[in-house]
A and B are shown apart, each in its own frame.
Chain A
Amino acid sequence: MLKNKYIYLLIITVLCLGLLTNPAAAQDDSLNIAIPGRAQTLDPAYLQRVLSDWPVMNSIFNGLVKYKPGTFEVVPDLAEEWEISEDNTEITFQLKKGIQFHKGYGEFTAEDVKFSFERIIAEDANSPEAQSFINLERVEVINQYTVKLILTQPMGRLFTSTLPFNAGLIVSKKAVEEMGREKFASNPIGTGPYVFEEWDVNNNITLKRNDDYFEVGAEYGEIVFMPMSDPTSQELALQSGEIDIGQLTLDNFDQISQMEEFEAEIYPDLAIQYVAFNTSKEPLNNKKLREALRYIINPEEILIGAFAGKAERANSILLEDMTGYWQAPDFKLEDVGEDYVWNLLAEAGYPEGEGLELEYVTDANEERRLIGALIQDQLSRFNIDLNIEALEVGPKIDRWQDGSYDITYARFTNTVDPGYNFQWNLSEQLGKWNLFHWSNKEYDNLWQEAETTLDSNLRAENYKKMQQLMNDDSIGIWVTHGVKTPAWITEIEPVFSPDGVILPWLISNSEE
């Protein structure tokens, strides 16, 4: 009896010890990468959250062109070369030969290009990418390796954001036709450096190396993408060895990036985060008042309070090195003095700020809540009351669209093409995504003109003018582009896009 007891005890102790030693997460040939959200589909024509899905898509599929790794420069990918007609409406691509789709779905040809693009613009397609191909009329197959895009009008964003991004990814015609759209969405077939393997219950996506890749193949044999929406979880998972690449929280960035086991870097995000004033509703339809608010609301404090001082101030919708960048003047309280702002308030009809009560709508996202609390405190220094309403995303969007708020804070995802990024402030977006509820004919015309030209100088000019218009009307405050803070274990050497998105097939082993 007693003997039995000791044996049990021994077994239990051994079991406990066995369980408590953390098994190494990464096998040598496999990498675990955290992505910010659960993938919803793996069909590039129907991506809904491009941000989280892009590293996955980019590993499975290729486009005709791509961004040169580490830059936003456009270079050939599946295409060998291309020619643009005089009137900029016909583009002829010569395709590379002998490229094979995954899992024996045959050679990549012009037919696949035609199919991939035309399925997006088809009337019953309902693809969120239809807009990316807005001027595409049809695709013509010249021969097996030559394909021609025929546009109704020149398309400014075709090469900057449509073709190198997810709309331009080429799927296997044979695979989609055989499987049907629904099945293809969870069994993607492309030509990329990795082959889709599994999408499991925990929404992890496993890819295996494509040994027949037409360029230099990937170093790691297997990649598992693990969705973790919360940077805190990613950080913990990285430290406990469950993932090899993930994001850090801003506050822990310094501490963890200094550890020997990890390396980390800060990249500017491509998005734009801003404070928007509702310019079509009392009291902020008053430009003087908006100007006063531009002085009172201090984005620098937001950067410290909500971004741990890690994010850079944004002075434009665009990143500094993008075509059309124009630096909006910064309205600094210390430059003009408080009296100036009190005067502005008085001129606007609110002497001493009395009686001014503003409505601030945001979602319950923690960062936004902090920003709300900060703005509230800043306004209270000028006797202005700010009522914060932290709604769920759905009701918040309802409020955005019917314009029942005075101030809001938003984050819009951008692309490399300015035309895309500027479209939300058009008059036609009123009641949709124009959060300033601002309409300006000149702005609309400039945008339209830039949209239908390939002349990048003209485009740059127009975008600059558009930003001046927004600035003149003081419709809001650009706060930051945000940051990405990828971190990784020192055994590997990852490559990122300029906005900090991992390019999984270029990861190499730093110890070899």
Chain B
Amino acid sequence: MFIYITKRLLWVIPTILTVLLLLFSLSYLLPGDPADIILGPRATPEMAAELESRLGLDNPWYQSYLIYLQNIIKGDLGTSIFRDRSVLKVILDVLPYTVILTLAGMGLAVFNGISIGLLAANYNNSYFEKFLTMLSFITASTPTYIAGVLLIVVFSVNFNLLPSIGIGDGGLLDSIHHLIGPALALSVGWTGYIARLTRSSMLETLDQEFIQTEKSFGIPRYYILYKYALKKAIKPIIAVIGLGIGRLLGGAVFVEVIFNRPGLGRLIVDSVNERDLPLVRGGVLVAALLFVVANLIADISYAYFDPRIKQK
């Protein structure tokens, strides 16, 4: 196990270096002149030149890449062109919101998914189970942005129960209130997935011998379901949570845009639109790092729960 983890960790280093090279090359690949896009007709040639030197476009590329790497090692991601702040600070400012959103979304997905899955397993082969299965397929087929838009239409516009935008005034209750809609929108897709996983895992466990034995001893059904079966069945669910967090990170892009929340996803979308290169690089780098870590956790938890991989 230890060797497996070490190997996986070492493998990450060249990956990240290549990611950095790709991000660096963005300045040569992205079409459009940042000065024109942002400054519009008001740009002077001098401003364009200053911008170029800030983007490192006035040096040969290998030199610029080395400088870029050096700076990153020092923890300096550059300065955002259009925000007059360091990229690292801009990202650190918004990152907590994305993390909280993702965790809340995952929490909701796990809670709702397991509930639906348990019900479905409990009423296996009934029409109710078919309904629940269909429900989990439908939720799994609802993209985040559709869920978000529908939530806004129903709860913000029609019933005025949930706020449609922003993060609130900073108070705990208000923050949670502003988090409900976005987290729910984010959770919808994974709710269905976890529900299906829970159901099949539960059915598998219930089939196993020791449960059958318990049954024959006359232990109450719900007791078996929750005390024994769920304990076993939950392992594969825990194993996919790492994976899910990575995926929800991507879904957060839409949620943050629709609900007008600060966050890494919206930051990347904005900076790509504005061609704020240092910010695009920094934002995508941080997103990639988070994603790699989430995947790593997912892989390791697989290995932990699925002995077959350990041997490989």
Contacts and interface: CB of A to CB of B under 8 A. Distances in A.
Given A20-B162, A236-B164, A131 B37 contact: no
B117 to A, nearest CB: 21
Given A226-B166, A236-B156, A201 B44 contact: no
Most B Cβ at <10 Å: residue of A201, A239, A241: A201
Contact of A394 (B30, B41, B44, B166): B30
Contacts of B166: 202, 226, 237, 242
Interface in A204-252: 226, 228, 233, 236-237, 239-242
B44 A242 contact: no
Contact of B32 (A41, A203, A226, A398): A398
A228 B260 contact: yes
B86 to A, nearest CB: 10
B271 to A, nearest CB: 11
B161 A236 contact: no
Most A Cβ at <10 Å: residue of B42, B177, B275: B42
A185 B164 contact: no
Given A40-B83, A186-B85, A202-B262, A392 B41 contact: no
B85 A236 contact: no
A20 B275 CA distance: 39
Interface string B31-49: 1111011111111101100
Nearest to A38: B270
B39 A233 contact: no
Contacts, number: 110
A103 to B, nearest CB: 20
A355 interface: no
A131 B42 contact: yes
Nearest to B93: A201
A76 to B, nearest CB: 27
Given A19-B173, A239-B157, A48 B32 contact: no
B165 interface: yes
B32 A233 contact: no
A40 B32 contact: no
B273 interface: yes
A508 to B, nearest CB: 24
A48 B82 contact: yes
Contacts of A340: none
B32 A432 contact: no
Contacts of B164: 233, 236-237, 240, 242
A130 B39 CA distance: 13
A138 to B, nearest CB: 20
Nearest to B31: A395
A305 interface: no
Interface in B276-311: none
A445 B61 CA distance: 45
Contacts of A412: 41
Given A23-B177, A236-B152, A392-B273, A228 B165 contact: yes
B209 interface: no
Interface in B162-216: 162-167, 173-174, 176-177, 180
B156 A394 contact: no
A186 B43 contact: no
Given A18-B173, A394-B275, A237 B161 contact: no
Contacts of B275: 394
Contact of B31 (A48, A185, A203, A394): A394
A40 B80 CA distance: 10
A102 B26 CA distance: 43
Interface string B118-152: 00000000000000000000000000000000001
Contact of A242 (B82, B165, B273): B165
Given A228-B260, A393-B32, A233 B165 contact: yes
Contacts of A98: none
Given A126-B50, A397-B36, A237 B84 contact: no
A397 B37 contact: yes
A48 B42 contact: yes
A228 to B, nearest CB: 6
A71 interface: no
A22 B173 CA distance: 11
Contacts of B47: 126, 128
Interface in A63-83: none
A89 B157 CA distance: 58
Contacts of A233: 164-165, 260
A249 to B, nearest CB: 13
A182 interface: yes
B59 interface: no
A230 to B, nearest CB: 8
B94 interface: yes
30 contacts: A19-B180, A20-B177, A21-B161, A22-B160, A22-B162, A40-B83, A126-B46, A126-B47, A128-B39, A128-B42, A131-B44, A186-B84, A201-B93, A201-B94, A202-B261, A233-B260, A236-B157, A237-B166, A239-B156, A239-B157, A240-B162, A240-B164, A392-B31, A392-B32, A394-B37, A395-B31, A397-B36, A398-B33, A424-B41, A433-B41
